[in-house]
Structure 1
Amino acid sequence: MQADGGKSLLKPAERVELSDAALPAGRCIYAQNETYLELCNSGWERQWKAGIGTVFVLLPCLLIFWGFYGFAVHPLLFDQLIAFFRVISYEPEMSPLLWMGWLLLFPLSLGCCVLLWLWFDIMGVGTCFFTYARGRIRFNRVTRKVYLLRPRGCGGNAVFDWDRLRAIVDMDGYDLLARKNGAPGKAAYYSLILYHPPFDAADPHAKGEDAIFVGPTLPMQHDAAPLWEYIRRYMEYGPGQEGIPERIGQEHTTYCGKPSSSQYKLEQRPGMMETAYHMLSQVTCSWPAFPKEWQSDSGIGEPEDKPVQTGAVMTALVYRAQGKLSKADEIEFLQHWGTAEAQQEAMTRKQ
């Protein structure tokens, strides 16, 4: 079941009503203003699993590689044997160790290469390291385009015409597939998917076909429809109309940038080890920025540069705590999102 950019294509019995346009629980919005709505991609809140999994996959493989080199390769090159952390001269009576390296550790090393390929490439864990820290999806009402920043291995950066996108909000057979591939009782996770059809339906190569995973990971399949309806109404009517708030609350916003461990814990409230493993993944990544030639902000500015003006509430909160907001920006921020007491304090405080 799909819906297009300009109108709903949901089945009549399942049409999303006005009261059902809503953001899901959790933080998924970088910024919302009169010009654009920018959301994250799904999966970020579970990226710590990639960190912990990589530790338990990579360390044993590295140990086997080191053992193979020390027992099988190094003796042939330097007439020395490396017993893990000890270097000793190779003697003829040590030949069983050399044979052990080639007959046992060499096949294990090949198996480790296959395992690492499956883990980082086939299972997609490579998208969590040495790439973009998070994806960014910007819906621009002025240009009627959707701007996407994502790792090259996931398709790379792209720009889509809003009116050509279709929303997949009912994934028939997904539950069956999840139960088949998972353990009994294992929870399935969903996402709002925006589908871009090929430019030419008759093209055998389906040039232009693409899919965007928008917003947070959803626990229930039916949560995708209200999120889609929120985005659709934002694009068609704008903030302050048809159930779209003029300004979003901080509880729906996320920090636009690479967060510190304390910021990550504030937003996601994970356990101590989850935060550590998430940071292990994030420390290798960089923060993506929209190319200036795209003019995707239509002149209003970027959330990282103008968090108050762009409605990047969480980013503005972080900047205020760090003392990075100007007095004028802080007053404007508190007028919209702060208490009267905080606003008065900011107005009377010297620059």
Structure 2
Amino acid sequence: MYLIEWGLWRMATESEAARKVHEAELTSAEKRANQDFYEGDLEEDIHFQTVSDNPRARGPVFAFNETFIEMRCGGSEEKRGLITIATLGGIIPIIGVTTISTFYFLWDDVTDSEARSVLMMALTFMMALVSGAILYVYSKYGVSLTRLEMLTSRHLLIRFNRVTQQVHLHRPKYCGGIVTFPWKTTGSTAIDPEDDSLSVGMRLGLVWHPSRTGLPHMEMALLGKQGQGGSELRDEWEFIRRYMEEGPHAVPRPRLSTQLPSPIQAFSAQFEGLGRFFRKSSWLFKVILLFVWPAFVIVGTGHWLSLLLCWRPRWPKVIREAGLPGKPVPPVTTLSDYPRVIQERLLANADRWQLKPGKRPTKKTRKRSAHP
């Protein structure tokens, strides 16, 4: 499910009218929080010093060699399958029944003159209106949601090319498309050990800020599996950092995963980030999980169907050959690579990512009032 990436891209390309409606719903505190970013914050998040002594890739890793490493992206992979179940189990049958019924009544009106009547023709007209309304609503609002899981790329991918020192993101166009960034513009959410407690249920986040890329919008990628706390995300960032800075010999070779629609991946994704929590939970919680196991089976089946109904993503030729002897270096993504309409939308929302100059001021501690 590419819901997070789709939402971020929609926000970056939001129309003026939609943005006004969205901002009108924000409270004063939310508006201040959206503008509370400093240049010093970005400098602290973008550095390439050692952050862990245990570099480790938690996967899924699809390729690992002397030239590049390729990993899975996606901010809500564990929820994949819900839209597939709703579409295949609800929307498609409703569309099929109403459409077939409409053609059935229409065929009777045309071929059976004896059964033809005003009532039957009115019923046929009503069925045509209902089926037409359902198709219209689904084509306008439902297809974009269905394509977050079905009839699209099987996975979002990120490729780190250490020869060209570039990072490539592979996403559908409705999530931002395929982009290329210099490695040194990459920021990570797994830098500060003080944030380790926040990594439970989170993925490693990589950020490319406009002040580093020259684009008018910010890009983000959420890598691999959900964290279970501790320093897992820092270990994964250190694995990527050492690979790009020092080479594949500086990190342990990861176990490679398949890009085929594996049922193991579909069912195991639901339990990402729950291992440590499950081991430390009470016996009552474990008993409750035994009663809800049918839900895990249903969602896992929907996840697998989603993978089966998608195709394997394919990189452009220039990225596939990047790093090979005599092959060109892929150009870095610029604003001109987007259609003119998208360029205008991106520029209109560029103020969302502006930074305040300097460093964040230190909060003053309040002194206790000396009351008797």
TM bracket, shorter-chain basis? 0.5 to 0.7
Residue type of the alignment partner of 2:260: K
Shift of 1:41: 1.4
| Deviation string, structure 1 residues 82-105 (Cα, Å, up to 9, x no partner) | xxxxxx557343x33432343466
**Within 5 A, what are the aligned runs for 1:301-312?**
none
Residue type of the alignment partner of 1:128: E
Alignment check: 8 A CA contact 2:81 2:149 kept: no
**Within 5 A, what are the aligned runs for 1:141-290?**
141-168=162-189, 190-198=202-210, 207=216, 209-218=218-227, 224-241=233-250, 244-245=251-252, 247-248=253-254, 250=255, 253-255=256-258, 257-261=259-263, 264=265, 276-290=301-315
Alignment check: 8 A CA contact 2:187 2:206 kept: yes
Which ranges of structure 1 fall in alignment gaps of 5 or more residues?
A: 9-15, 81-87, 171-187, 301-351
Q: Secondary structure at the match of 1:7?
A: coil
CA separation in 2, counterparts of 1:276 and 1:165?
A: 36
Shift of 1:143: 1.0
| Deviation string, structure 1 residues 6-51 (Cα, Å, up to 9, x no partner) | 436xxxxxxx842465444xx4111233432211112445433333
Map of 1:99 onto structure 2: 122
CA separation in 2, counterparts of 1:221 and 1:100?
A: 64
Aligned CA-pair RMSD: 4.0
Shift of 1:273: 5.2
| Deviation string, structure 1 residues 180-215 (Cα, Å, up to 9, x no partner) | xxxxxxxx96433322233689x9xx5464332322
Change beyond 3 A, Cα 1:272–1:89: farther
Alignment check: 8 A CA contact 1:4 1:164 kept: no
| Deviation string, structure 1 residues 200-234 (Cα, Å, up to 9, x no partner) | 89x9xx54643323223557698644433432333
Which ranges of structure 2 fall in alignment gaps of 5 or more residues?
A: 1-40, 192-199, 272-295, 326-372
CA separation in 1, counterparts of 2:121 and 2:231?
A: 60
Change beyond 3 A, Cα 1:33–1:274: same
Q: Percent identity?
A: 22
Change beyond 3 A, Cα 1:110–1:57: same
Map of 1:52 onto structure 2: 85
CA separation in 2, counterparts of 1:102 and 1:21?
A: 66
Alignment check: 8 A CA contact 2:45 2:189 kept: no
Alignment check: 8 A CA contact 1:144 1:161 kept: yes
Provide the TM-score with structure 2 as the length reference. Answer: 0.54
Residue type of the alignment partner of 1:216: K
Higher RCO structure, 1 or 2 (CA under 8 Å, sep 6+): 2
CA separation in 2, counterparts of 1:139 and 1:228?
A: 12
Alignment check: 8 A CA contact 1:200 1:207 kept: no
Alignment check: 8 A CA contact 2:185 2:212 kept: no
Shift of 1:151: 1.9
Alignment check: 8 A CA contact 1:169 1:221 kept: no
Q: Secondary structure at the match of 1:39?
A: strand
Map of 1:294 onto structure 2: 319
Change beyond 3 A, Cα 1:59–1:266: closer
| Deviation string, structure 1 residues 146-169 (Cα, Å, up to 9, x no partner) | 122222222222211111222345
Give the structure with the higher percent strand. 1
Shift of 1:52: 1.7
Residue type of the alignment partner of 1:33: N
Q: Secondary structure at the match of 1:132?
A: coil
**Within 5 A, what are the aligned runs for 1:57-76?**
57-71=91-105, 74=107
Count matched residues.
250
Residue type of the alignment partner of 1:98: M
Residue type of the alignment partner of 1:258: L
Residue type of the alignment partner of 1:232: R
Map of 1:12 onto structure 2: none
Q: Does 1:79 align with 2:100?
A: no
Map of 1:110 onto structure 2: 133
CA separation in 1, counterparts of 2:306 and 2:249?
A: 38
Shift of 1:66: 2.9
Provide the TM-score with structure 1 as the length reference. Answer: 0.56
Q: Secondary structure at the match of 1:79?
A: helix
Give the structure with the higher percent helix. 2
Shift of 1:138: 0.9
